[in-house]
Amino acid sequence: MRFIFLSLIILVVFSLSCTLSGKPTIIDSYIKDTGSLEVYFCPQEDCEGKLVNFLDSAQQSIHCALFEIGLPSVQSKLLEKAEQMDVKVATDDQYLKEFNHSFVKPDSWGLMHNKFCIIDGKKVSSGSMNPTINDAHKNNNNLLLIESSVLSGNYEREFQEMWEGTFKKGEKVLHPKIILNEIPIENYFCPDDHCTNQVVEAINHAKQSIYFMTFSFTSREIANALLLAKERGVELKGVMEASQISQYSMYELLKFQGTDVLKDKNKKNMHHKVFIIDNETVVTGSFNPTEGGDKRNDENVLIIKDESLAKKFLDEFSIVYG
């Protein structure tokens, strides 16, 4: 009884110290939430239409962190909504020229490489798709639309940091683990939450198979984790974007170690950043497995454990693998 009483005192003191310090307490256990999760694959599905309809559904606010904004339909919808409600956009400085308005702020160095929007503080879009003609209609991409107030809160806090000028750093994600309608989801931001470590941790739990689709893959840490998984009997197959294979790419290393890895066949780009683990866990988001993505860019990662979602990504892998 005395031990329990002392533990309660320590917990209260810790909570008070976090509150008085002005910093939010990171909740590392799963937070339950209700909502919905949809995924679409470009170019075979109408990613442009789905994203425009998503933005059009906003009633109060739209806050976006978008690397590049080239789709005229998305530009028009954001401008239309800016006349009606609170619209704020963070973009990469090299692409400000494509969409330069009073409600748009650029970063100043590295890459603001995110591709997310928060709608009314309760819905969020993410994935690998930039709102550009190529990404929507020519490149292989994924677009996730998720209704979750908890997950949206994570993205909103990250957005507000960037809107206030804090790029490539900031507080760790407040609710990294969420259960959405019985689906476990982990959510991280780079470089704040060390995305490479989170991907390696997911890979380390693989027991049967890992299939991956990567645009740029230069991370030796993630490559080593894949090869260690292969050594313990995990089936390993991958597709990598042909134009990104260079002396820095992990393609030759993986190939040399006997990995079934192919160069993609899309005449444009295979732009996914995806790992599918044991036919039930999907790693996706804006994060390429690179050192730049981990340490020098603003990025986001979702790790979602759901067999039905994984099946859709496996079907996409079969298309890309060819």
Active-site hit among 137, 255, 278, 311: 278
137 flagged as catalytic:
no
Between the alpha carbon of residue 90 and those of residues 137, 145, 307, the distances in Å are 23, 19, 33
Strand partners, 212: 238, 275
Active-site hit among 63, 123, 168, 273: 273
Please tell me the distance from the alpha carbon of residue 186 to that of residue 14, in angstroms, as a whole number. Answer: 24
Please tell me the distance from the alpha carbon of residue 87 to that of residue 100, in angstroms, as a whole number. Answer: 13
Active-site hit among 271, 298, 305, 306: 271
115 flagged as catalytic:
no
63 flagged as catalytic:
no
Residues acting as catalytic residues: 271, 273, 278
